[in-house]
Amino acid sequence: MPVSPAVPSYASGISAAPLLGDTIGDNLDRTVAAHGDRDALVECATERRWTYRELAADVDALALGLLDAGIGKGDRVGIWAPNCAEWTLTQYATAKIGAILVNINPAYRSHELEFVLNQAGVTMLVAAESFKTSDYAAMIEQVRPKCAELRHVVLLGHDAWNSLLDKGKQGDAAASAERLAEKRAGLSADDPINIQYTSGTTGFPKGATLSHHNILNNGYFVGELCNYTEADRVCIPVPFYHCFGMVMGNLACTSHGSTMVIPAPAFDPKASLAAVAAERCTSLYGVPTMFIAELAEPTFGDYDLSTLRTGIMAGSPCPVEVMKQVIDRMGMAEVSICYGMTETSPVSTQTRADDSVQRRVSTVGRVGPHLEVKVVDPETGLTVPRGQTGELCTRGYSVMLGYWNQPDKTDEAIDRARWMHTGDLAVMDDEGYVNITGRIKDMVIRGGENLYPREIEEFLYTHPDILDAQVIGVPDTKYGEELMAWVRMREGAEPLTEETVRAFCEGRLARYKIPRYVHVVEEFPMTVTGKVRKVEMREKSIDLLGLSAAANTEHA
């Protein structure tokens, strides 16, 4: 009898809602016309708030101020600041005039700042004067002589910033509106509007270049799958400099008339919980480590979270046990898991509100509307059958225009058929749900066995004393690599050892999957977006365990 062909790991997203053809500025104006008197933006730290009509007035004023400063379509405007209302104003004002917003990581130091300013050719830099221990103003002055294209530095709260806004508010209102209308008439939804630098674990980061069409539609459809309306109030503790904050947060809100709530300049578990309670938020965002911190907050029970119905957990793999607690203890019955990357604007797959709890705690959902995903053999590029592990690829409106001024790097990431290769290992089931099993580069090869850290991490989360766990590979002269677990303990728990972890795993995990080494830490090395830096963990572990000789052993 003929053998039926296996169903390929491919899926495309359908939607009754068409793609948006607007620019970001036009889309904001539509929302203002429909919901002008509703809350648009709340900044909890300063108790400032804007209705949509007030937000639009300040955005337009800033846009006019930028024009007066000589900033126009295609010019790059850097933004280097923690989450604040001014960040949001700058995001929409640059979009109104077609300037390209360059997001700069608040954790950068002078060397990284200099690279980004020069690589993107930034003309104007809008920045906070300082934040936490970072003296931004001093670092800017240090690198400014080395950045030939940087003509303007605008520090938030200083005269230069106030002047930008004040100039935009002066003059005849009708003439100002006509001036902005003329500029918008020269814009296309396919124009580049944003450059976001990927974290980059080795070498310098790459600037993912995104269009109005990329990020406006991604924010809109993420919001659609969260069932957002003008009645929703979204607490956004994730950084604006990243897609999670400015796309899934801000653009999802403004494309639906929802309210953006900024709980604090940087993540603080108490501030986030307080913002949800005070502003009656219906949605809360975070990476897993943020939700872990909120759930572990000693005063957690003091906050009224009864208005929460949904939210998004994304940015890094979401532990099953944490997801269950978010649903049960925080009341986020419709919480959504999103998966993606900066280069895809960012979301490619998402769970739906009507998905079973099991689907929402064990997968990253199905392909988003108007997108395609497939799982391929990393060596041959051929689509693998459903149920088989391979590299996840994405195609559609969300795929970036390319890496800024790096066509060679673009060609390495996006193939000739416009598939973005994510570098993530995934499995697609019979119903199209995707499970991320790890990074191709994170896979540990122990004595010829391919081991996926995510599987072992999920098992360790079931230990009652473990708050968080990360598994890496470390060099070994016999097996090539061995497994090491970094763990964070719950408050009051006794630190684990190799022996106690082995005893917990015996009979429940295959022996070759049991970590040989265990390291108890207070926190993991992280990027500002909440992604664990496993490369740094591996480097520290080599020193900690005295494995330099094994690390330098040559292999075929």
Question: Which H, E and C letters describe 154-182, residue by residue?
Answer: EECCCHHHHHHHHHHHCCCHHHHHHHHHH
pLDDT confidence bin for 374, thresholds 50/70/90: very high
Q: Which two tokens stand for residue 409?
A: 């790097």
Q: Does one domain contain both 140 and 253?
A: yes
Q: Does one domain contain both 461 and 321?
A: no
How far is C-alpha 288 from the chain's CA centre? 12
Q: Does one domain contain both 357 and 449?
A: no
Q: What is the predicted pLDDT for the residue at 553?
A: 64
Please give the Cα distance from 232 to 159 (Å, whole number): 35
Percentage above 70 pLDDT, the chain: 97
| 150 vs 556, more confident | 150
**Does 375 fall in a domain?**
yes
Based on the number of CB atoms within 10 Å of its own CB, is 494 exposed (0-12), middle (13-18) or buried (19 or more)?
Answer: exposed
Q: Does one domain contain both 500 and 421?
A: no
Amino acid at 89: L
Domain boundary among 373, 396, 427: 427
Strands in 48-51's sheet, in edge-to-edge order, are 48-51, 39-43, 259-262, 233-235, 283-286, 310-313, 336-340, 347-350, 366-367
Residues with Cβ within 8 Å of 385's Cβ and at least 6 positions away in sequence, in order, are 6, 7, 8, 9
Q: What is the predicted pLDDT for the residue at 3?
A: 53
Q: What is the predicted pLDDT for the residue at 490?
A: 93
**Does 10 fall in a domain?**
no
How far is C-alpha 38 from the chain's CA centre? 27
**Does 479 fall in a domain?**
yes
How many residues are recorded in the chain? 556
Q: Does one domain contain both 449 and 420?
A: no
Handedness of CA 90, 92, 97, 99 (dihedral sign): positive
Q: Does one domain contain both 413 and 538?
A: no
Q: Which two tokens stand for residue 190?
A: 């396919």
Q: What are phi and psi of 339, to 5 degrees?
A: -130, 140
What's the whole-number mean pLDDT along residues 373-382? 94
Orientation of helix 320-330 relative to helix 288-296, angle to 10°: 50
**Does 18 fall in a domain?**
no
Q: Does one domain contain both 455 and 419?
A: no
Please give the Cα distance from 92 to 107 (Å, whole number): 23
For the beta carbon of residue 110, count every other beta carbon within 10 angstroms.
17
Please give the Cα distance from 108 to 78 (Å, whole number): 13
Q: What is the predicted pLDDT for the residue at 156?
A: 98
What's the whole-number mean pLDDT along residues 229-245? 97
Rounded-to-10 torsion of CA 264, 269, 274, 275: 40
pLDDT confidence bin for 109, thresholds 50/70/90: confident
**Does 229 fall in a domain?**
yes
Domain boundary among 398, 427, 456: 427
Instruction: Please give the angle made by the CA atoms of 509, 506 and 517, to the nearest 5 degrees.
Output: 85
Domain boundary among 379, 399, 427: 427
pLDDT confidence bin for 1, thresholds 50/70/90: very low
Q: Which residues of 40-72 are buried (b: 16+ CB within 10 A; e: fewer)?
A: bbbbbbeeebbbbebbbbbbbbbbbbbbebebe
Task: Return the CATH number at 57.
Answer: 3.40.50.12780
Does residue 373 contact residue 408 with C-beta atoms inside 8 Å?
no
Q: What is the predicted pLDDT for the residue at 299?
A: 97
Q: Does one domain contain both 346 and 484?
A: no
pLDDT confidence bin for 4, thresholds 50/70/90: low
Q: Does one domain contain both 339 and 467?
A: no
Stated pTM of the model: 0.86
Task: Return the CATH number at 533.
Answer: 3.30.300.30
Tens-digit pLDDT profile for residues 110-145: 888 999 999 999 999 999 999 998 999 999 999 999
Determine the structural domain holding residue 30 and report its residue range. 24-427
Residues with Cβ within 8 Å of 82's Cβ and at least 6 positions away in sequence, in order, are 106, 128, 131, 239, 265, 266
**Does 432 fall in a domain?**
no
Please give the Cα distance from 258 to 39 (Å, whole number): 8
Flag whether pLDDT at 202 surpasses 50: no
Amino acid at 333: A
**Does 367 fall in a domain?**
yes
pLDDT confidence bin for 199, thresholds 50/70/90: low
Q: Does one domain contain both 361 and 293?
A: yes
Q: What is the predicted pLDDT for the residue at 331?
A: 97
Q: Which two tokens stand for residue 444?
A: 């540990």
Bond into 346 cis (ω within 30)? yes
How many domains does the chain fold into? Answer: 2
Please give the Cα distance from 312 to 336 (Å, whole number): 5
The rounded mean pLDDT for the chain is 93
**Does 278 fall in a domain?**
yes
Q: What is the predicted pLDDT for the residue at 554?
A: 46
Q: Does one domain contain both 108 and 242?
A: yes
Flag whether pLDDT at 556 surpasses 50: no
Are β-strands 402-403 and 434-439 bridged in parallel, bridged antiparallel, or unpaired? unpaired
Does residue 210 contact residue 401 with C-beta atoms inside 8 Å?
yes
Written as one string, the DSSP assignment of 437-461 is EEETTT-EEETTEEE-HHHHHHHHT
Does residue 334 contact residue 359 with C-beta atoms inside 8 Å?
no
Q: Does one domain contain both 365 and 449?
A: no
